[in-house]
């Protein structure tokens, strides 16, 4: 790799040729502020907050897109630079709804931080007309408030370039430019799949999930309700970020302790339902392989992916596993098996799911999600990691000082296979562990299928020989990648037996409901790798690493479901899909 030497504020650094000034400054230990830039996602140099001086160049240049050259001398903190950045911030603020006290991102807003950093107190320096935009509350999972939008276009890039959907863009021109759907349609009238990737890249509070915490508080305070909470696999390695803990910290014990202190009657692990999903999914896969069923079988754990398939590739609906997601399976079991065991009326049980994914808010309202019948939903309320963190803060809990506690055992025992569901390739690997031992009748020497691991690639392929059968697999994350794979399969350019798809790049650890991180972190820290690594580390430490080894799962089948794939299991744990109209 060819290197070039540059100076940043007099500090000499050596960086790869082709690096930007922003990257060179980072190597020198200097953060240059940005608002629009996100590495590999939105590299447009539009906000002009990152401007710097370069010796020999007249005027200021944008550090986020300007490449370095040998001997370049860069100055990031001159009076001219500070004045330009401050003026650009004042111009942004001149059209911004500055209701910071009531904003969900207050204290975690990139614009707010920069306003403080540059000492802007007179926010009316460029006062004038402000456009008024109605808040789009139409979707089940999120809202968009354009009065807080700074037109950075990160959300547009995430929807278009990363997810390949493109249901939002810049409408109108000049002063009236705003982010919206085509022809000003409400979001729920488009083919938005509820992935929430637009939310986690937004630097302000212009886009956020719909907050359902008031519903949770009301349920907890209702003495007639038995309120249980389930936490998804990835939450334990991301929740700590909301309390300034290092990225990738496993806070499972403190998470459980916090949930108990919030007042939930029982605290359970969705990983239990992940193990249950594998029992059903592995059985379904083997049946398809052995009996000439529809292949490739495609996973159904990610509701954003399922909605995408129903909308953009309805011809692949028969390929989808009929298994409910772990969230929904947990709710199904809670309102049938658990209700029966505890002598509770399913109507009196409130199931709250803490999820990395805003699409889960959409999923709870899907049809064919009522195992208990009578219109009783499997899951009543789905909240994000961020919402759960806000509940903990509201309750005044000192998260870092909480003791480590264990999940309640009835539906809280899980294996390592359940833990890795949160990372791209995890569902595939967990299913292969059980499918391989079921097919061969022998214990695996090593339960690791490392070829489908990793967050650096959006498409991972592998071929395994199991019990004399060749199994071709593919693990995909990010919907633009899913489109590429499905198009190749449809055109006969690729052939697989089993495909795992997760809507969010890297999987649930990078879901739309996870803690937001500013560009200064996202541009230089591999969030996906650190979070996923923590899940695999927990898996490796487990004595039980295969779903079929879970004693609670065995008990569930022995006393209630019968066997994987039984008629009763299908009634409770499986679902159906429907083709949806495509509308941009």
DSSP for 309-333 reads HHHH-GGGGGGB--BPPHHHHHHHH
Q: Same domain for 66 and 161?
A: no
406 in a structural domain: yes
Residue in the block written with tokens 């004399």: 468
- Measured distance CA(302)–CA(504) in Å, rounded: 9
Q: Of 487, 488, 437, which is closest to residue 464 (Cα–Cα)?
A: 437
53 in a structural domain: yes
Q: Is residue 451 exposed (0-12), middle (13-18) or buried (19+ Cβ within 10 Å)?
A: middle
The CATH number of whichever domain residue 221 belongs to comes to: 3.40.50.1780
Q: Is the pLDDT of residue 110 over 90?
A: yes
Structural tokens at position 442: 């022998």
Domain end (from 209, 243, 259)? 209
14 in a structural domain: yes
Q: How many CB atoms lie within 10 A of CB 336?
A: 22
Residue 566's domain comprises 214-573
Q: 320: which strand partners?
A: 298
| pLDDT of amino acid 15 | 97
99 in a structural domain: no
* Mean local confidence (pLDDT), 436-442: 92
- Measured distance CA(379)–CA(365) in Å, rounded: 9
For the chain, the 3-state helix, strand and coil shares in percent, each to the nearest 5, are: 40, 15, 45
| pLDDT of amino acid 294 | 98
Cα→Cα distances 376→220, 269, 334, 450, Å: 18, 21, 12, 40
102 in a structural domain: no
Domain end (from 162, 186, 209)? 209
Q: Same domain for 307 and 374?
A: yes
DSSP code for 249: -
- Measured distance CA(522)–CA(39) in Å, rounded: 8
526 in a structural domain: yes
| pLDDT of amino acid 180 | 97
Helix (H) or strand (E) holding 76: none
The CATH number of whichever domain residue 161 belongs to comes to: 3.30.70.20
CA angle 527–532–533, rounded 5-degree value: 100
Average pLDDT taken over every residue of the chain: 96
Q: Model confidence over 260-303: pLDDT tens digits?
A: 999 999 999 999 999 999 999 999 999 999 999 999 999 999 99
460 in a structural domain: yes
Model confidence, pTM? 0.97
Is the distance from CB of 423 to CB of 508 less than 8 angstroms? yes
Helix (H, G, I), strand (E, B) or coil at 112: helix
Domain end (from 193, 209, 225)? 209
Helix (H) or strand (E) holding 101: none
| pLDDT of amino acid 123 | 75
Residue in the block written with tokens 């309102």: 335
Q: Is the pLDDT of residue 125 over 80?
A: no
The CATH number of whichever domain residue 62 belongs to comes to: 3.10.20.740
* Mean local confidence (pLDDT), 421-450: 94
Structural tokens at position 88: 């650009």
pLDDT-based confidence at 169, cuts 50/70/90? very high
Q: Same domain for 322 and 265?
A: yes
pLDDT-above-90 percentage for the chain: 96
Structural tokens at position 365: 């309202």
pLDDT-based confidence at 419, cuts 50/70/90? very high
Q: Same domain for 524 and 439?
A: yes
Q: Which long-range contacts (CB under 8 A, 24 or more apart) does 121-126 make?
A: 123/90, 123/93, 123/94, 123/98, 124/94, 125/90, 125/94, 126/90, 126/91, 126/93, 126/94
- Measured distance CA(95)–CA(93) in Å, rounded: 5
Q: Same domain for 200 and 232?
A: no
103 in a structural domain: no
Q: Same domain for 42 and 14?
A: yes
pLDDT-based confidence at 128, cuts 50/70/90? confident
- Measured distance CA(339)–CA(410) in Å, rounded: 12
Q: Same domain for 394 and 267?
A: yes
Q: Which residues of 553-570 are buried (b: 16+ CB within 10 A; e: fewer)?
A: beebbeebbeebbeeebe
* Mean local confidence (pLDDT), 22-38: 97
DSSP for 169-225 reads EEES-GGG-EEE-GGG--GGGTT-----HHHHH-SSSSEEEPP-HHHHHHHHT-TT-
pLDDT-based confidence at 467, cuts 50/70/90? confident
- Measured distance CA(427)–CA(269) in Å, rounded: 16
DSSP code for 375: T
| pLDDT of amino acid 12 | 96
pLDDT-based confidence at 580, cuts 50/70/90? very high
Q: Same domain for 358 and 459?
A: yes
Q: Same domain for 268 and 301?
A: yes
Q: Same domain for 483 and 538?
A: yes
| pLDDT of amino acid 124 | 76
Q: Same domain for 169 and 287?
A: no
Helix (H) or strand (E) holding 344: none
DSSP for 23-47 reads HHHHHTT-PPP-SS-BTTTB----S
- Measured distance CA(502)–CA(326) in Å, rounded: 14
- Measured distance CA(23)–CA(60) in Å, rounded: 17
Overall domain count for the chain: 3
Q: Same domain for 198 and 309?
A: no
Could you tell me whether strands 469-477 and 266-269 are parallel, antiparallel, or unpaired per DSSP bridges?
Answer: unpaired
């Amino acid at each position: 790799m060819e290197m070039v030497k540059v100076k940043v504020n007099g500090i000499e650094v050596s960086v790869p040729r082709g690096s930007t000034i922003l990257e060179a400054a980072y190597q020198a230990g200097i953060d240059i502020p940005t608002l629009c830039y996100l590495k590999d996602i939105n590299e447009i140099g539009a906000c002009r907050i990152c401007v710097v001086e370069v010796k020999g160049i007249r005027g200021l240049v944008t550090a986020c897109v300007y490449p370095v050259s040998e001997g370049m001398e860069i100055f990031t903190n001159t009076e001219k630079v500070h004045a330009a950045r401050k003026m650009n911030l004042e111009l942004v603020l001149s059209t911004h709804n500055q209701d910071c006290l009531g904003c969900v991102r207050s204290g975690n807003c990139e614009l707010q931080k920069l306003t403080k950093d540059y000492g802007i107190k007179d926010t009316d320096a460029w006062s004038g007309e402000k456009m008024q935009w109605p808040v789009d509350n139409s979707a089940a999972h999120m809202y968009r408030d354009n009065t807080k939008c700074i037109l950075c276009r990160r959300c547009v890039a995430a929807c278009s370039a990363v997810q390949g959907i493109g249901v939002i863009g810049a409408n109108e021109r000049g002063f009236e430019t705003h982010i919206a759907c085509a022809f000003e349609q409400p979001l729920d009238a488009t083919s938005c799949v509820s992935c929430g990737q637009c939310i986690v890249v937004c630097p302000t509070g212009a886009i956020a999930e719909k907050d359902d915490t008031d519903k949770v508080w009301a349920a907890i305070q209702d003495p007639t309700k038995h309120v249980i909470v389930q936490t998804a696999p990835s939450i334990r390695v991301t929740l700590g970020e909301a309390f300034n803990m290092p990225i990738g910290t496993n806070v499972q014990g403190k998470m459980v302790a916090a949930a108990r202190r919030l007042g939930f009657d029982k605290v359970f692990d969705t990983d239990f339902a992940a193990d249950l999903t594998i029992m059903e999914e592995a059985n379904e896969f083997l049946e398809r392989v052995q009996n000439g069923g529809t292949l490739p079988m495609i996973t159904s754990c990610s509701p954003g992916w399922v909605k995408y398939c129903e909308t953009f590739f309805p011809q692949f609906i028969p390929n989808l596993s009929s298994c409910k997601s772990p969230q929904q399976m947990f709710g199904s079991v809670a309102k049938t098996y658990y209700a029966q065991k505890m002598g509770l009326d399913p109507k009196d049980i409130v199931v709250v799911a803490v999820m990395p994914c805003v699409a889960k808010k959409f999923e709870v309202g899907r049809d064919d999600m009522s195992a208990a019948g009578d219109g009783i939903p499997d899951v009543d309320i789905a909240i994000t990691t961020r919402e759960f963190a806000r509940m903990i803060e509201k309750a005044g809990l000192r998260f870092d000082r909480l003791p480590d506690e264990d999940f309640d055992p009835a539906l809280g025992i899980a294996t390592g296979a359940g833990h890795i569901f949160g990372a791209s390739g995890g569902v595939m690997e967990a299913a292969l562990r059980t499918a391989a031992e079921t097919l061969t009748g022998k214990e695996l020497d090593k339960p690791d299928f490392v070829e489908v691991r990793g967050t650096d690639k959006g498409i991972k392929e592998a071929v395994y020989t199991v019990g004399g059968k060749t199994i071709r697999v593919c693990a995909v994350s990010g919907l633009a990648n899913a489109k590429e794979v499905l198009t190749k399969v449809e055109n006969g350019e690729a052939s697989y037996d089993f495909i795992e798809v997760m809507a969010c790049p890297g999987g649930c650890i990078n879901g739309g409901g996870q803690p937001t991180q500013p560009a200064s972190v996202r541009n230089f820290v591999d969030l996906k790798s650190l979070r996923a690594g923590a899940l695999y580390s927990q898996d490796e430490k487990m004595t039980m690493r295969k779903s079929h080894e879970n004693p609670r799962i065995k008990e569930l089948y022995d006393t209630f479901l019968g066997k994987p794939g039984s008629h009763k299991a299908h009634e409770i744990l499986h679902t159906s899909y429907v083709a949806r109209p495509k509308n941009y």
